[in-house]
Amino acid sequence: MIKPKGLVLGDTVGIIAPASPDTREKVEKSNKKLTQMGFKVKMGKSCYEKYGYLSGPDILRADDINSMFRDTEIDGIICLRGGYGTLRILDLLDYQVIRNNPKVFVGYSDITALHIGINQISNVVTFHGPMVSSDMVECFDSFSKESLYNFILKDRFDTGIIKNPKGERIETINGGIVEGPIIGGNLSLIVSTLGTPYEIDLKGKILFLEEIGEEPYRIDRMFNQLRLSGKLEEAKGIILGDFKNCSSDDSRKDNSLTLEQIIEDIIKPVGIPSISNLKAGHCKPMVTLPFGVQARLDGNNGELTIIEKPIKS
């Protein structure tokens, strides 16, 4: 895998909106926040555009990504927010430009499609972590900030041991120890890649999954789609992150399975080392995960360690 150059305070960070739009106020606050954090900022055109539920037409959003990677003045790229839209632009990206100009690239949720494309086609390490408008503007807690900085800042890599916020325990689904690169992200987005040229490749890899706002039967359906497609068996290990608001409301609980039951029915029988409740995804505080570098998943002890530095020294 190609590793990007680590960032230092004072570097120029580009902000792009490859999915849904945000208010002008949140955009300006995002610019101000990164500036306060010690970075120079360059805003993408997509941050100021709106096309229905998209932050501008597909070609504009794709060009923003291509231009940010091509721009030699930009040292790293952080997404404004998620929402919907990245699947529409996967075939518009210049993966060779991205490969030739590797940069720290951060986002999650709908950005999952970009992680998969950049990771598999450009062979570049990316970072599943907080976005500016969604996670930094109002309250960027110290845990989330330090987790992000540990992986993207030059000479900041203190430890590869992934720890949850205090009081949150990583649970074991299946024991065993495996090593391999992590890839994945939002469950809905991953399932949406199946049967396309951008289908997630899990051979020799550890699958990370997170989700928000899906009823248990929908989680069940998507887990089963991964199972029936052979993707779960293809993976070396499984990490379940935060599944925010993925339980039935009180009026429907008697007619629903719980998320825990679904995991027991579908994930556990796969038999590979697996853990759950890693606080990565739509949660605060949030763990940052580098995609594409070697990690060790210890299902026996509920531990995850990044064993390869994800940036150039």
Domains 12-152 and 161-306 share a fold: no
Looking at residue 253, its pLDDT comes to 64
Alpha carbon 183 to chain centroid, angstroms: 8
What pTM value is reported for the model?
0.96
Looking at residue 251, its pLDDT comes to 54
Domain boundaries in the chain? 12-152, 161-306
Mean pLDDT of 63-83: 98
Mean pLDDT of 292-311: 96
**Is residue 107 pLDDT above 90, yes or no?**
yes
CA distance linking residue 40 with residue 31, whole number of Å: 9
**Is residue 88 pLDDT above 80, yes or no?**
yes
Mean pLDDT of 51-76: 98
Q: Is 251 a catalytic residue?
A: no
Q: Is 28 a catalytic residue?
A: no
Looking at residue 250, its pLDDT comes to 60
Question: Which distant-in-sequence residues (6+ apart) come within 8 Å of 287 by Cβ?
Answer: 144, 147, 162, 163, 164, 241, 278, 279, 280
Looking at residue 211, its pLDDT comes to 98
Q: Specify the DSSP class assigned to residue 153.
A: B
Looking at residue 1, its pLDDT comes to 96
Mean pLDDT of 124-131: 98
Residue tagged active-site, from 210, 214, 274, 276: 210
Residue tagged active-site, from 109, 122, 134, 274: 109
For residue range 197-222, what is the model confidence (pLDDT) as tens digits? Answer: 999 999 999 999 999 999 999 999 99
Specify the CATH number for 161-306; select among 2.60.120.620, 3.20.20.10, 3.40.50.300, 3.50.30.60.
3.50.30.60
Tell me how crowded residue 230 is: count the other CB atoms within 10 A of its CB: 10
For residue range 6-61, what is the model confidence (pLDDT) as tens digits? Answer: 999 999 999 999 999 999 999 999 999 999 999 999 999 999 999 999 999 999 99
- Please give the share of the chain, as a percent, with pLDDT higher than 90: 94
Q: Specify the DSSP class assigned to residue 54.
A: B
Buried b (16+ CB within 10 A) or exposed e, 22-39: beeebbebbbebbeeeeb
From edge to edge, which strands make up the β-sheet containing 289-291? Answer: 40-43, 12-16, 76-79, 104-107, 126-128, 289-291
For residue range 244-267, what is the model confidence (pLDDT) as tens digits? Answer: 999 877 656 678 999 999 999 999
Place of tokens 């590869």: 160
Structure token pair of residue 138: 């109002």
**Is residue 75 pLDDT above 90, yes or no?**
yes
What does pLDDT average to over the chain? 96
Half-sphere exposure of 28 (CA within 13 A, CB side): 3
**Nearest residue to 286 via CA among 240, 219, 241:** 241
CA distance linking residue 276 with residue 299, whole number of Å: 10
Q: Is 276 a catalytic residue?
A: no
Looking at residue 158, its pLDDT comes to 80
**Is residue 132 pLDDT above 90, yes or no?**
yes
Looking at residue 42, its pLDDT comes to 98
Which CATH class name applies to 12-152?
alpha beta
Alpha-helical regions (H) of the chain: 24-36, 58-70, 95-100, 112-117, 142-152, 187-193, 216-228, 231-234, 259-262
**Nearest residue to 280 via CA among 137, 152, 168:** 168
Mean pLDDT of 105-122: 98
Buried b (16+ CB within 10 A) or exposed e, 126-163: bbbbbbbbbbbbeebeebbbebbbbbbbeeebeebebe
Coil vs helix vs strand at 82: coil
Query: Do 243 and 211 form a contact (C-beta atoms < 8 A)?
Result: yes
